[in-house]
Structure 1
Amino acid sequence: MSFIRTMIVNGVLALVAATAAQAQQRPPIGLYGSPPDAMIFYVAHGAAGACGPGCSDWIAAEGTVQWDSYKRLIAILDRQAGHKLPLVIHSWGGSNLNVAVSMGRILRDRGLDATAGATEVEACAGKPEADCFALKRPGGPLDAKVSLPDPACDFACVLMLAGGVHRSLPQGATVVLAGRSIRNRRAPNVAPEQRESLTAIFGEQYRKYLHEMGVEPELVDIIDAIGEGGRPVVMPPSDWARLHIVTSP
């Protein structure tokens, strides 16, 4: 069991959200071995109210939450010299839920707000994905606007969003919860008994985290009821408020 716990701490074994992949993958953000579509972060600037009432500057978070995504979040926050810009989340792919929790805790520790949305950079218009990625990678600031997230806000998105001091979702947004599964980035298979044990352990960790963030742990029950490979559940806006996924205006 100590070996399993060590692997959990190191992020080798993780629960992964099952969700639709982005149609076009970006180049890897890192060097050899870096996964494609890993989440990147950059500062964006738009018109007044672009990211909410009184908000024109934000940090865009887009891509798949990978094992090292929290390091990039810390790096861009450290570069803001105390400016508390809200995080606009656009996640997709099989995200690492444990790391999503870590990033939510970072947001709460820094006292930041969070919402979901797709950041559309003006300079990317008409450019291929690789060229747009090259514009974003240095970290901005870039002129942009926020549109509805596509794919929808998934469980990884919700876990990150939960860390926001103030949490919001734009009108017309969709929250879709799907099943979760155990993945090991260093080996192709996880034994069934280990998978069952870790799923339960991680589930309790997520319940504790959501409770601490002021979100109803019932979210994890919904995920568990779906099961791996089950039909995704679309959450109505009435549940966003009931479960405190969003905070009062």
Structure 2
Amino acid sequence: MTTRLRPLATFCLIVTGFFAALVATASAAAQQKTPEVWPMNFILVRNGDCTVSCVQWISAEGIIKPDTAGQFEKFLRKLKGQKLPVVFQSGGGNVDAALEMGRMIRTAGLETAIGRTQLNGCPMLVPRCPEKMVRNGWSEGEVHSGGAYCFSACPWALAGGQVRAAAANARIAVHQITNGRKKPRMHNGRRDLDEISTVPDPALKQMMSDYFDEMGINSADVFAMMGLATPQGLYNVWDAEALKSGIITKVYSESEEPGYVIGGTDVTDPAAPTPAATPVPAVTPMPDELMHLLP
């Protein structure tokens, strides 16, 4: 016997199927991590024809994981002394790994900067798409300092550069030093307003203080800024504060971007020696429009 569906029943089945597919798609999309929370990786990037003139840099983007420092060490070993700036964009991550990376950068004599890399052929929403990353060679793309960010543990990896730079409209943010454990709640029947706070860690603070001194950063200034952050939030560091504290040593002008300018040699092998880079001053004066921010 043939069963016929009434038009209303047919419509309901179609709608139900559509929403089921929509929910499944939304669920799959929710499980996909955005580029901002991908683990940090490192690639060599250049922009331009290096037989004439090109810009080259090390792009370091993503969340700093406990094993990120080990990956960075292997990456630097492949460069065999080639000195290129490390350009960071990161929401932060593991503090120990960030400090270890900073010391590697200082030992290698590399400069650092805050910048965002856009690889050629990648969509704007995924600017460092994996399919355009060349793991054992040069990726092609552009680097921009404006609008880039370096949060949480990222500034401490950035601190490894003897010269560490950011654009006036880049974002630097820090947070409190804690061990991540929740404070115990009050049991007097009243809500504990500090229940979302975490427990301060004196040992961690001392370790950070020693690192700041090692890197030429004013620890008192940095701890003061950290203290201004909410328990689970970030304090946005002004350019003048970043310069005064030593988190950065240079503010990019509107015409500057991160990276070394290379000319006259086609450098295709990551292990090949890098020609002399365009000199960069150790400290760039604060732009006039920011002078009023200085204390």
TM-score by shorter chain over 0.5: yes
How much is the aligned-residue C-alpha RMSD, in angstroms? 3.0
Which residue number in structure 1 is paired with residue 63 of structure 2?
A: 64
Asked if 1:76 corresponds to 2:75, the answer is yes
Report how far residue 151 of structure 1 moved.
6.3
Bigger Rg over Cα: 2
Which residue number in structure 1 is paired with residue 224 of structure 2?
A: 221
Q: Partners of 1:111 and 1:45 in 2: how far apart?
A: 20
Note the residue ranges of structure 2 that are not aligned, 5 or more in a row: 1-31, 185-197, 250-282, 285-295
| Alpha-carbon distance change, 146 to 158 in structure 1, aligned in 2, over 3 angstroms | same
1:123-202 equivalences under 5 Å are 123-125=121-123, 129=126, 132-136=129-133, 138-148=135-145, 152-183=149-180, 190=181, 196=199, 199-202=201-204
Q: Is the 8 A contact 2:118 2:127 kept in 1?
A: no
How many residue pairs align between the two structures? 203
Q: Partners of 1:235 and 1:26 in 2: how far apart?
A: 23
Which residue number in structure 2 is paired with residue 4 of structure 1?
A: none
Report how far residue 233 of structure 1 moved.
2.1
Q: Partners of 1:179 and 1:55 in 2: how far apart?
A: 40
Which residue number in structure 1 is paired with residue 248 of structure 2?
A: 246
Q: Is the 8 A contact 2:117 2:127 kept in 1?
A: no
Q: Is the 8 A contact 2:146 2:167 kept in 1?
A: no
Q: Is the 8 A contact 1:154 1:177 kept in 2?
A: yes
Identity of aligned residues (%): 23
1:36-75 equivalences under 5 Å are 37-47=38-48, 56-75=55-74
Q: Is the 8 A contact 1:206 1:220 kept in 2?
A: no
Note the residue ranges of structure 1 that are not aligned, 5 or more in a row: 1-22, 28-35, 49-53, 184-189
TM-score, reference length from structure 1 = 0.71
SS of 2:129's equivalent? helix
One-letter amino acid matched to 1:37: W
| Alpha-carbon distance change, 139 to 95 in structure 1, aligned in 2, over 3 angstroms | farther
SS of 1:45's equivalent? strand
SS of 1:144's equivalent? strand
TM-score, reference length from structure 2 = 0.61
Q: Partners of 2:237 and 2:177 in 1: how far apart?
A: 17
